Structure 1
Amino acid sequence: MDLQVLRSFQAVAEGATVTDAAAEARVTQPALSRALNRLEDEVGAELLQRVGRVLRLTPAGRVFKEYVDAVLDSYDRGCRAVAEVVDPEGGVISLAFLHTLGTWLVPRLVTGFREASPQVRFELHQADEKGLTQRLLDSTADVIITSRDPGHPLIRWRRLLVESLWLAVPLRHRLAQRQRIRLAEAAAEQFIMLKPGYGLRSVTETLCRQAGFSPLVGFEGEEVETLRGLVAAGLGVSLIPLSREAAGAQETNPDLPIRYLEVTDVHSARDIGIAWLAARTLPPAPQRFVDHALSVTADANPAGAAPG
């Protein structure tokens, strides 16, 4: 059984056309079709069936794909381990992180690490909290950077820092002249929040409960910058990190019609940490990155963040 055929089967099973999979494998489309037919003969079952103009997995194909994924992942990790033995200064780091950390923390950590290890290559992925945990469990990421401890028995988590959250209000809001606020005072406000499944959503709901109310959700988004835009448009308030652009400029900047208020009655902050599989010995490059992240995060804080 040819590993390349398994990769092509995996690609088609995940939505690629046979033509695209053939181009990726550098074979003709008829040749790949014959190879997939031989694979079905070897397995002893139909794995793919045509539905309209696309191929879909059969029940047998879905079962087989789970094992194909595991085989290819094991093979790729074996190749990585050998490459890192041959060239310990090189290697690949598969890093997954929250969308909100892609504008400041991840670039700083990666840039700083590559200054000392320029031969290391990064594979970067973004996901919500649930997706990050699954990437570790599926071994599709070596390391994740997330806003909370996943609380999973197979995952080890270490805090990097604590990021403060501020109540963002429109510039012409009734509270906009304030510098500080008790979160309980915003109980009647319409909150703009991330969708369920995002860490910041659960943190916001927890803080509001601690302040004695359930937030009235007016709008939901998938990016913190979307929340900022909706707040600026006067559609509600939001508990979000203070943007670096806002630091020292929120009073007079007409392009930033938001006021950030310090919350005083609850500990308005979220943990940011790094995690990996507890039972897995990390390859040298990912382990060096974990060590690097833990050692430098005190110098990698944006406005409103404090070292953990």
Structure 2
Amino acid sequence: MEASDLQRISRLLPIFLAVAETEQVTVAASVLRMPQPTVSRALHSLGGLIGAPVVERRGRGIVLTAAGRELLPYAQSAVDQIVAGVAAAGRTDVVGHGEIAIAFQNMLGETVVPALIRRFRERFPAVSFGLTQGSRQRCLSALDHGDAAVALVATPPRRDDLVTLPLYEEPLVLVVPRHHRLADRSRVGLDAFATEELIALKPGYGLRLGIEELFAETDRRPRIAFEAEDAHTARGLVSAGLGVTIVPSFPPDPQTEQIRIDHPKAVRTIGALARPGGGTPSVRAFVGFLQTSGAAVAVSSLGPYARPLVSLPA
């Protein structure tokens, strides 16, 4: 194989990994911020270079071929080695050891954070993680005070002193009891539920900020009946018939109905924040991993309930 072919293969590996992770070309294209035809051509080119197709269609998605499955661990190792090399460049410390302190909002602790840690530790099994979880404000404070090297939060702020790594965005939905007057609606505007008793998270939580932004441009103010500390509690109160709530989309349950909110701000971005170039080599390797693979791993862990990020709001 010519050196030029190897160079072409190396450039195509991140695209292949994103497709392998998400099992959908459309989702991978959104995660990579590339046109879908570009991703499809990249897969075709990769198959031509190695002499066998790497993916094949199955239903609405795609799966790896036998050749793709053989290539996958080598592709992951190659990209991980590049990330580790960049993180370690110019430093004498050892990459892959020590503890990485991360802070994350509670709603990320069930699927996203475990998926990210698992995938990173497949390459660096000796790395440990110190975990801080809580409200969005608590996570940002932990980052500012040096108690966390990376913070994973909703609606990550744009700050000159931090690197912002958008991972995905997800729609916010109105959740009502199963027999509510709006339960048979597929979409609603803000006016449709402005008079309802609303169950919101307490100030300082990202979802509370999202609700405030939704109503900020209207003459309506939400009637907050209860303040919870997590989305699970808010949904439980809705199940009991004590009001309605606004949370990210979630797997259906028999007690509630989810209704899309017809408003451009009824969506939130999930992202990571870190100090540019700071921390140990292992921290820098983790930030590099988030840059190259974090979006695909996060979206894959959420299944069909998250909408991949196409562009970060200005």
Q: What interval of TM-score do these two structures reach, taking the shorter chain for normalisation?
A: 0.5 to 0.7
| Alignment gaps of 5+ in structure 1 | 1-80, 251-255
Q: Does the residue aligned with 2:307 lie in a helix, a strand or coil?
A: strand
For residues 234-249 of structure 1, what are the structure 2 equivalents within 5 Å? 234-244=241-251, 246=252
The whole-number CA distance in structure 2 between the counterparts of 1:201 and 1:95 is 22
What is aligned with 2:44?
Answer: none
> Which of the two has higher C-alpha Rg?
1
Q: How many angstroms does 1:153 deviate by?
A: 4.2
What is aligned with 2:121?
Answer: 114
Q: How many angstroms does 1:220 deviate by?
A: 0.2
Aligned positions, number: 216
Q: How many angstroms does 1:114 deviate by?
A: 1.1
The whole-number CA distance in structure 2 between the counterparts of 1:128 and 1:304 is 22
Q: Which amino acid aligns with 1:307?
A: P
Indicate conservation of the 8 Å contact 2:116/2:297, yes or no: no
For residues 23-102 of structure 1, what are the structure 2 equivalents within 5 Å? 85=92, 87-102=94-109
Q: Which structure exhibits the higher relative contact order, with contacts defined as CA atoms closer than 8 Å and separated by 6 or more residues? A: 2
What is aligned with 2:171?
Answer: 164
Cα deviation, 1:88-126, whole Å, max 9, x if unaligned, reads 222211010011111121111111111121111111111
What is aligned with 2:267?
Answer: 269
1:190 to 194, 197, 206: 197
What is aligned with 1:6?
Answer: none
Q: How many angstroms does 1:212 deviate by?
A: 4.5
Cα deviation, 1:239-294, whole Å, max 9, x if unaligned, reads 101223x2xxx4xxxxx30100011233311111100124x523221222222223
2:132 to 116, 121, 125: 125
The whole-number CA distance in structure 2 between the counterparts of 1:257 and 1:236 is 13
Q: Which amino acid aligns with 1:297?
A: A
Cα deviation, 1:210-262, whole Å, max 9, x if unaligned, reads 45521110000111100010011111111101223x2xxx4xxxxx3010001
The whole-number CA distance in structure 1 between the counterparts of 2:287 and 2:190 is 35
The whole-number CA distance in structure 1 between the counterparts of 2:92 and 2:234 is 46
What is aligned with 2:61?
Answer: none
- Residues 1:286 and 2:286 are matched in the alignment: no
Cα deviation, 1:10-46, whole Å, max 9, x if unaligned, reads xxxxxxxxxxxxxxxxxxxxxxxxxxxxxxxxxxxxx
Distance change in 2, residues 1:114/1:211 (3 Å): farther
Q: Which amino acid aligns with 2:274?
A: W
For residues 130-209 of structure 1, what are the structure 2 equivalents within 5 Å? 130-209=137-216
Identical-residue share of aligned pairs (%): 34
- Residues 1:214 and 2:211 are matched in the alignment: no
TM-score (norm 1): 0.65
The whole-number CA distance in structure 1 between the counterparts of 2:106 and 2:113 is 10
Indicate conservation of the 8 Å contact 2:165/2:290, yes or no: no
Q: Which amino acid aligns with 1:226?
A: T
What is aligned with 1:103?
Answer: 110
| Alignment gaps of 5+ in structure 2 | 1-87, 310-314
Indicate conservation of the 8 Å contact 1:98/1:126, yes or no: yes
Q: Does the residue aligned with 1:144 lie in a helix, a strand or coil?
A: strand
Aligned-pair RMSD on alpha carbons?
A: 2.0
Moved more, 233-242 or 262-271: 262-271
